[in-house]
Amino acid sequence: MENAQILVVEDENIVAMEIQFRLEGLGYVVPTVASCGEEAIQKAEATRPDLVLMDIKLKGEMDGIEAAERIRTCFDIPVVYITAYADKNTLQRAKITAPYGYILKPFEERELHANIEIAIYKHQMEKKVKELVIKLQDALAKIKVLNGLLPICASCKKIRDDKGYWNQVEAYIQEHSEATFTHSICPECMKKLYPKYAKHIKTEPT
């Protein structure tokens, strides 16, 4: 993704500058660099990058794994770890934060590029899926279907609801479906109620 903004989190200045140089050479934008977990969270909130390249071992009380979890939870920004550590405990902790990649130092430029592109694409697809799910849930919430047996009075045609109350047919249907009503008079009722006018009204369908 050309011109994607990437936040670099690295506590070694020389390493951070090298990563920034490589990223910019690949066409990415590095709006800023952070050197500790707390700073990474603040800058992620301020710049809202497309991706965070996160070193795991950082100076200070908060390491990269904790910072990555906070960034993912609070801002929904994908994180790719870039670290020299691949021991079992570190991998286990990192895995729980659902990273979009894990690159070991030293790394090749094309490896870095491939991980970033895949991570950004995957995150974009996940966002589209989430948006689609929300739309579907909203649509399903609006759909109401009448089914089963409806107790209806043989005389007045009112319908009894599940609380025992009798309702007009149109009121019951409107409450339990998306239908709305407009009123008219059928030919038979027209003849009974308004016989003077019935003979002047065409009742046969066209």
What does the pLDDT read at residue 1? 72
Tell me the C-alpha to C-alpha distance, in Å, between residue 71 and each of 32, 106, 159, 170: 16, 25, 54, 52
Tell me the C-alpha to C-alpha distance, in Å, between residue 203 and each of 86, 161, 181, 188, 193: 84, 35, 21, 9, 15
- Average pLDDT of adjacent 10-residue blocks, the chain of 206 residues: 90 94 95 96 97 93 94 95 87 90 91 95 94 85 66 81 83 76 77 72 55
Distance of alpha carbon 50 from alpha carbon 31, whole angstroms: 11
For 29, the 3-state DSSP assignment is: strand
Fold of 6-139: Rossmann fold (3.40.50)
Structural domain boundaries of the chain? Answer: 6-139, 145-206
What does the pLDDT read at residue 33? 96
Q: Radius of gyration of the chain from Cα atoms?
A: 32
What does the pLDDT read at residue 149? 73
What does the pLDDT read at residue 201? 63
Tokens describing residue 198: 């019935």
Give the sign of the dihedral formed by CA 193, CA 195, CA 196, CA 201.
Answer: positive
